[in-house]
Amino acid sequence: MSEAFEPVIIGFTCNWCSYRAADLAGTARVKYPPNVRLIRLMCSGRLDPTFVLKALAQGADGVLITGCHPGECHYIEQNYKALRRYLLLRRTLTQMGIEPGRVKLVWASAAEGVKLAKEITTLVEEIRALGPLNWPGRVKLATGENGTAVSQHTQSIPEEVTA
């Protein structure tokens, strides 16, 4: 590849903590790479694994899930549900052929702009090291939707059989 690979990362943030942390990072002029596209949810507990699967299926190289620190959830304990779903999702993704490192859960309070920026910087580098996921392209290749690869299995017949 001639150009440097710039990962696309979808980041889900909680309205009460990590979204404000990102805001704080912005107002404090803390720099972090522009690879992450943040989406605000009301709570990490709102994060349906469907969102993660859809992001990856449609071209994201990684997904960042953020929420309030354990014990600090605005809705009492929904961040623990996010934690459980994340741990189960990671296992399922591994079986699906996606490196678990592409999906990361980070706790960040509203005061932790610097921490969030640092976590984002680290994740971007981790995913850059993993390389592009390119799931839509892989599916196209696997299904032969791009007009190739359908006959991959066709191989020549051994000599002794045709003779």
Partner 1 sequence: MSDNGSGKPKFAMYWAASCGGCEIAVLNIGEKILDVDAAFDVVFWPVAMDAKYHDVEAMPDKSITLTLFNGSIRNKENEHLARLLRQKSAILVAFGSCATEGCIPGMANFSSTEEIFTAVYDSISTDNPDGLRPQSEWMTPEGIALTIPEFYPMIKTLDQVVDVDYYMPGCPPESHQIAAVVDLVIKALDGKATLPPKGSVIGAGGSTVCDDCPRQRNVKKINKFVRIHEVANVDPALCLLEQGILCNGPATRNGCGALCPSVGAACVGCYGPAADVVDYGARLMTAVASVIDSRDPDEIEAILDGIPDPAGSFYRFNLAHSLLRAGKPAVSGD
- When asked if residue 101 is in the footprint of partner 1 (CB under 8 A), the reply is no
- From residue 14, alpha-carbon distances to 11, 56, 92, 138 in Å are 10, 20, 24, 31
Per rule CB under 8 A, count of chain residues that contact partner 1: 45
CB 35, CB 9: distance < 8 Å = yes
Structure tokens at 100: 């678990």
List the x/- string, 139-158, binding to partner 1 by CB under 8 A. xx-xxxx---xxxxxxx-xx
Q: Tell me the residue type at 64.
A: L
What letter does residue 157 receive in the DSSP assignment?
A: P
Q: Is 88 in the site for partner 1 (CB under 8 A)?
A: yes
CA distance 61 to 56: 6
Q: Is 56 in the site for partner 1 (CB under 8 A)?
A: yes
**Nearest to partner 1 of 34, 158 (CB atom):** 158
Q: Which residues bind partner 1 (CB under 8 A)?
A: 48-50, 52-54, 56-59, 70, 77, 80-81, 83-85, 87-89, 91-92, 95-96, 98, 135-136, 139-140, 142-145, 149-155, 157-158, 160-162
